Structure 1
């Protein structure tokens, strides 16, 4: 058996240390994700870290540092596909970006462990955990700050509830009215809300706005025949 002639205790112990380090550090990262009930939890982060460590360690033993560099490049791109699986879009909300980024970081931790850079893997784990825990209060504090529409770029939606008879002319009138107020329209859609009510949704080009100006447009349009309601809303999610 070729295994008996090629097996080296020192190399095996080196691989064992790399995998064990990746397992322990991946467990630390995954435990925090599991505690917060994220899509990719304990086992997923451990497997990503250990898998990345195994591939890099294998390349190190077969081709040296040059082979490890090539494998790391494939690990980075391959984790992108795994991360895409945990990102979910629900309406205008996108969830899972932080979980995908954590998986990417777990792969980096495993790659460091596989390349025998244990100290760097530990340091990276500390930074990943700090990003997911220590920065959370800061994120919450920023999110509680009232949004200033005049200085924040976002996607705005202007909505008109109209009768079917008013739809043909009101669609063009809405676009003209918004553009005359210096708010260009990127797209217009029509949705049904019952048999006698339609909703025109105009998506504005992403920009900063003055709420008073859009309120004035809404008030002006509500005075038009066939208009039941006019309003606008924003979406700050990328």
Structure 2
């Protein structure tokens, strides 16, 4: 019974990642981007799960054998590499090779993974603050950038 309660407590990080990643994904979804709500939730919750599993392995096995080593930084690096690979698939160049498309989508996936990692480490205030900054960047700052670009073309 205690094991089930501990696992439910670990689910807090995954649920927080679900909500915060969902907010980022919802913003992308309403702009009809290729990576939307479901993709961002999957990336965020997966990143959180990897961190929760890593932390659980350390807690469970670290005291049993001095020969066992744990590298949480390595897990974090693997999450970043995996999501970066996924993001690279979202980037396309125009036929003329002058303009890349999908950079914001790739950056958004990486940002979502970072939020998921923070949630997996139970850093909920940090994850929430980062999500708000990302939403500010994707929303109002994006519109401001488009407006400035439109004015410079005139």
Q: State whether structure 2 residue 135 is matched by structure 1 residue 129.
A: yes
Aligned to 2:45: 50
Provide the secondary structure at the position in 2 that maps to 1:18: helix
CA distance in structure 2 between the aligned counterparts of 1:85 and 1:74, rounded to whole angstroms: 17
Residue correspondence of structure 1 range 120-159 to structure 2 within 5 A: 120-146=126-152
Q: Which runs of 5+ in 1 are unaligned?
A: 148-238
Question: What's the TM-score, normalizing by structure 1?
Answer: 0.56
The CA deviation string for residues 158-217 of structure 1, in whole angstroms up to 9 with x for no partner, is xxxxxxxxxxxxxxxxxxxxxxxxxxxxxxxxxxxxxxxxxxxxxxxxxxxxxxxxxxxx
The CA deviation string for residues 94-122 of structure 1, in whole angstroms up to 9 with x for no partner, is 10000100000000000000011111111
CA distance in structure 1 between the aligned counterparts of 2:142 and 2:122, rounded to whole angstroms: 31
The structure with more helix, counted as a fraction of residues: 2
Runs of 4+ aligned residues of structure 1 deviating over 4 Å after TM superposition are: none
1:70 to partner: Cα distance: 2.2
The structure with more strand, counted as a fraction of residues: 1
Q: State whether structure 2 residue 71 is matched by structure 1 residue 76.
A: no
Say which is worse superposed, 135-144 or 70-79, in terms of deviation: 135-144
Q: State whether structure 2 residue 102 is matched by structure 1 residue 96.
A: yes
CA distance in structure 1 between the aligned counterparts of 2:79 and 2:126, rounded to whole angstroms: 18
Aligned to 1:108: 114
Say which structure, 1 or 2, has more relative contact order (CA 8 Å, 6+ apart): 2
Residue correspondence of structure 1 range 1-238 to structure 2 within 5 A: 8-63=3-58, 67-91=71-95, 92-146=98-152
1:50 to partner: Cα distance: 0.4
Q: How many residues align?
A: 142
Which one has the largest radius of gyration? 1
